């Protein structure tokens, strides 16, 4: 009984002490705000070469940072008081447990354990709040340089891939799990052509043939084939693009349900011409054809399949030229070099392979090892570099002349899907399973994150990204399982300047 009354008395004293100290904190904070208000007003009145809008934005950001650290300071004091109270309580309990005192060693061990738990809580609070500050600052930066321009809505299921033609007419292509591929006007968002030649299976990849006189597309499908088909489109007159920069909600992160997907009023592709028969069908795989690409010159095409092989075809005759074997598990992607006869294939066996066809008599292969999970894609950049992305949440930049280790590694918080590189500016776009799209440079420095809010952005997993460096309106496109593709305008000079 004496021990219980002493413990209650100590608790009441600690509570009164905490209450009085809380009041003193509020008085201190109010006085500090009065002291800091004058210098801020003086700062706003000083001459500066910065534009007024930039200056006001900076002042607002620094004000947010100041408030965050003020909250951290208050939380720190509260946690320290909890530590003191706990130590007092442990000391009181140590005097009367079963009528015997705890030894100093036991009491010290128990207090140390509780103190370490609170210290860990304090570290976690600091880390979370600091991350919030940094995220807030980067979000504001991203909004200034990354703007959503157009949404392309019309597919009835998730979109696996997106591609942009590099020659006139410049159109956007999407490949979907609804068994169709659609071509879009980038400016108007109108569907121009629908391809439905793959029967009863997803279309996993679409690539345009970059030829000045022919309009050809290459699609890969789950029906174990790749199709080459010709299209003819006439671009509609573009309408003024609405400015979406002011439509972004103040909350960058909003949780969406999987059911929150774009509404499709009827079949928007029903009014556009439909192509049902391919010009050429590439057959020889025994499994899903997950990817396909054109070799430089357009006379050959390469496909990647779940049957663990990649095939090289002659486009004119549809004949199989080479079967590329060596991967131990299913292939996930293939990519060709824009200027040389080089092919890179990626696989679930955690590797990607470089196939060299520059010498007709020698077909060499190099194996790149460095990931610990499925390599979802590997793409070429300018020069002798390859960028690979993986389900192990990393992206690695490799030098083809030194295959032993990557020259840069980017670590993220989510699995990486099909990456794409802005060749001219050396910017990597990373689509993630967690619905984010992040931009990095080749050295691994994060540049921006595409904004997401309750009004815009992808609502489900982002599958693929594609750059269109020369387009005046949209220079980056993304697609995902929310059945839509999105065109973005990335202010690359501003992005690199902030870097």
Q: What does DSSP assign to residue 100?
A: B
Quick: pLDDT tens for 99-157: 444 444 554 555 555 556 655 655 555 555 555 455 444 444 555 689 999 999 999 99
Describe the strand order of the beta sheet including 385-390 as a list of residue ranges. 375-380, 385-390, 394-399, 408-411
How big is the chain by its Cα radius of gyration, in Å?
29
Over residues 440-449, the pLDDT tens digits come to: 999 999 999 9
- DSSP code at position 383: T
Give dist(CA 484, CA 277) in Å, integer. 25
Whether 398 has a pLDDT exceeding 80, the answer reads: yes
Total domains in the chain come to 1
Q: How many CB atoms are closer than 10 A to CB 116? A: 10
Which pLDDT belongs to residue 425?
85
Q: Between these two residues, 72 and 22, which has the higher pLDDT value?
A: 72
d(CA 67, CA 397): 39
pLDDT reported for residue 361:
78
Residue ranges making up the domain that contains 209:
145-228+267-496
Paired tokens of 172 = 């956007």
Between CA 374 and CA 381, with CA 375 as vertex, the angle to 5 degrees is: 170
pLDDT in tens, 235-247: 877 655 555 444 4
Of the pLDDT bands very low, low, confident and very high (cuts 50, 70, 90), residue 269 is low
- Which residues pair with residue 420 across a beta bridge? 429
Q: What's the average model confidence in pLDDT over 87-106? A: 58
| Token pair listed for 472 | 């005046």
Using CA atoms, how far apart are residues 427 and 492, in angstroms rounded to an integer? Answer: 9
d(CA 457, CA 435): 8
What local confidence, expressed as pLDDT, does residue 3 receive?
Answer: 45
Quickly count: other Cβ atoms within 10 Å of residue 488's Cβ: 21
DSSP structure string for 301-362:
EEEEETTS-EEEEETTT--EEEEE---SS-EEEEEE-SSSSEEEEEETTSEEEEEEEEETTE
2 found inside a domain: no
**Measured between alpha carbons, how far is 136 from 134 in angstroms, rounded to an integer?**
5
Taken as a whole, the chain contains a residue count of 499
Lookup: tokens for 118 = 């609170």
The tokens of 191 are what? 């569907």
Q: What are phi and psi of 349, to 5 degrees?
A: -80, 15
Mean pLDDT of the chain: 81
Q: What CA–CA distance (Å, rounded) separates 451 from 467? A: 17
Q: Which two tokens stand for residue 282?
A: 């590439």
Residue 60 within any structural domain of the chain: no
Q: What is the mean pLDDT of residues 55-77?
A: 86
Q: Would 366 be classed as within a structural domain?
A: yes
Contacts 24+ apart (CB under 8 A), 409-417: 409/444, 410/440, 410/444, 410/446, 412/438, 415/373, 415/376, 415/390, 415/391, 416/376, 416/377, 416/389, 416/390, 416/391, 417/376, 417/377, 417/389, 417/461, 417/462, 417/463, 417/464
**Separation between Cα atoms, residue 94 and residue 356, nearest integer Å:** 75
**Distance, CA of 175 to CA of 161 (rounded, Å):** 5
Q: Within a domain: residue 417? A: yes
CB-based contacts of 161: which residues, under 8 Å, 6+ apart? Answer: 174, 175, 203, 204, 205, 206, 418, 463, 464, 479
User: Could you give the CA distance from residue 74 to residue 25 in angstroms, rounded to a whole number?
Assistant: 8
Q: Is residue 370 part of a domain?
A: yes
Instruction: Give the three-class secondary structure for 363.
Output: strand
More confident of the two residues 370 and 60: 370
Residues 275-284, mean pLDDT to the nearest whole number: 96
Q: In this structure, is residue 15 part of a structural domain?
A: no
The token pair that represents 385 in the structure block: 């570099």
Neighbours of 204 (CB within 10 A): 25
Joined tokens for residue 264: 């499709």
In a domain, 19, yes or no: no
User: Among 75-79, 301-305, 465-469, where is mean pLDDT lowest?
Assistant: 75-79
Dist CA 329 CA 375 (whole Å): 11
Measured distance CA(181)–CA(198) in Å, rounded = 9
Q: Count the helix, strand and coil residues of the chain and give each as a percent rounded to the nearest 5.
A: 30, 35, 40
| Residue partners of 353: CB distance under 8 A and separation at least 6 | 324, 326, 327, 344, 345, 347, 365, 366, 367, 368
**Coil, helix or strand for 57?**
helix
As a whole number of angstroms, the distance between CA 428 and CA 388 comes to 10
What CATH number did the domain enclosing 482 receive?
2.130.10.10
Q: What is the pLDDT of residue 214?
A: 83
Tokens of 286: 């025994």
In a domain, 177, yes or no: yes
Query: What's the predicted TM-score (pTM) here?
Result: 0.70
The residue with tokens 């950001």 is: 61
């Amino acid at each position: 009984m004496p021990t219980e009354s002493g413990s209650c008395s100590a608790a009441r004293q600690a509570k009164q002490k905490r209450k009085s100290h809380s009041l003193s904190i509020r008085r201190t904070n109010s006085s500090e705000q009065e002291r800091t208000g004058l210098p801020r007003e003086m700062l706003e009145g000083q001459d500066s070469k910065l534009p007024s809008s930039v200056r006001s934005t900076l002042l607002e950001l620094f004000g947010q940072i100041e408030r965050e650290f003020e909250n951290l300071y208050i939380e720190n004091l509260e946690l320290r008081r909890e530590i003191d109270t706990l130590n007092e309580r442990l000391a009181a309990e140590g005097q009367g447990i079963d009528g015997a005192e705890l030894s100093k060693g036991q009491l010290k061990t128990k207090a140390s354990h509780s103190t370490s738990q609170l210290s860990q809580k304090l570290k976690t609070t600091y880390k979370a709040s600091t991350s919030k500050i940094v995220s807030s600052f980067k979000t504001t930066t991203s909004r200034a340089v990354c703007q959503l321009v157009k949404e392309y809505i019309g597919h009835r299921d998730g979109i696996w891939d997106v591609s942009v033609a590099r020659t006139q007419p410049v159109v956007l292509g999407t490949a979907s799990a609804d068994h169709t591929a659609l071509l879009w006007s980038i400016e108007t968002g109108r569907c121009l052509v629908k391809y439905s030649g793959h029967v009863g299976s997803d279309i996993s990849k679409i690539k345009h043939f970059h030829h000045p006189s022919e309009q050809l597309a290459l699609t890969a499908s789950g029906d174990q084939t790749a199709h080459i088909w010709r299209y003819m489109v006439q671009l509609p007159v573009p309408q003024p693009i609405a400015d979406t920069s002011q439509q972004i909600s103040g909350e960058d992160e909003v949780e969406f349900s999987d059911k929150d997907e774009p509404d499709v009023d009827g079949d928007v592709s029903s009014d556009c011409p439909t192509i049902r028969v391919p010009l050429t069908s590439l057959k020889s795989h025994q499994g899903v054809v997950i990817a396909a690409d054109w070799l430089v010159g357009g006379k050959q095409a390469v496909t990647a399949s779940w049957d663990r092989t990649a095939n090289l075809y002659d486009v004119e005759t549809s004949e199989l030229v080479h079967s590329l074997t060596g991967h131990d598990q299913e292939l996930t992607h293939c990519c060709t070099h824009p200027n040389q006869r080089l092919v890179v294939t990626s696989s679930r066996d955690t590797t990607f392979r470089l196939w060299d066809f520059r010498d007709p008599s020698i077909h060499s292969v190099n194996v790149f090892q460095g990931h610990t999970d499925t390599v979802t894609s590997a793409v070429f950049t300018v020069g002798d570099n390859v960028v690979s992305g993986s389900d192990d949440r990393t992206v690695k930049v490799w030098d083809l002349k030194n295959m032993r280790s990557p020259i840069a590694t980017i670590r993220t918080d989510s699995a990486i899907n099909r990456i794409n590189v802005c060749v001219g500016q050396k910017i990597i776009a990373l689509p993630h399973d967690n619905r984010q799209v992040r931009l990095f440079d080749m050295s691994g420095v994060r540049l921006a994150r595409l904004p997401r809010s309750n009004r815009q952005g992808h609502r489900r997993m982002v599958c693929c990204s594609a750059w269109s460096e020369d387009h005046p309106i949209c220079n980056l496109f993304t697609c995902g399982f929310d059945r839509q593709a999105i065109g973005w305008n990335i202010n690359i000079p501003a992005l690199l300047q902030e870097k």
